Amino acid sequence: MPRLVQLVLLLSGALALAAHGAERVGDGLTWYALQDRTHAADAIQAELLALIENSPEQDRFDLYRTYHQLTGAWIQIRLSQTLIEQAMAATSRSEEEKIRATLRDQGQFALWELDEAIAYLDRNALTSNRRESLRVNAAIRSLLYETAPIVGRLLAEQCSYVPC
Q: Indicate the pLDDT class of residue 135, thresholds 50, 70 and 90.
A: confident
What integer pLDDT is reported at residue 31 of this predicted model?
95
Domains of the chain: 25-161 (1.20.1440)
DSSP assignment string, 4-53: HHHHHHHHHHHHHHHHTTT--TTHHHHHHHHHHHHHHHHHHHHHHHHHHH
Q: Indicate the pLDDT class of residue 133, thresholds 50, 70 and 90.
A: confident
Q: Indicate the pLDDT class of residue 142, thresholds 50, 70 and 90.
A: very high
Hey, CA dihedral for 125, 131, 133, 138, is it positive or negative? positive
pLDDT tens by residue, 50-98? 999 998 898 888 889 999 999 999 999 999 999 999 999 999 999 999 9
Please state the pTM of the whole predicted model.
0.80
Q: Indicate the pLDDT class of residue 143, thresholds 50, 70 and 90.
A: very high
- Looking at residue 162, the DSSP 8-state letter turns out to be S
SS3 125: coil
Distance of alpha carbon 136 from alpha carbon 124, whole angstroms: 14
Percent of the residues in the chain that have a pLDDT greater than 70, as a whole number: 83
Structural contact between residues 126 and 61, judged by C-beta atoms closer than 8 angstroms: no
Please name the residues in contact with 69: beta carbons below 8 A apart, sequence gap of 6 or more.
116, 117, 120, 121
Length of the chain: 164
pLDDT tens by residue, 9-26? 444 444 444 444 456 778
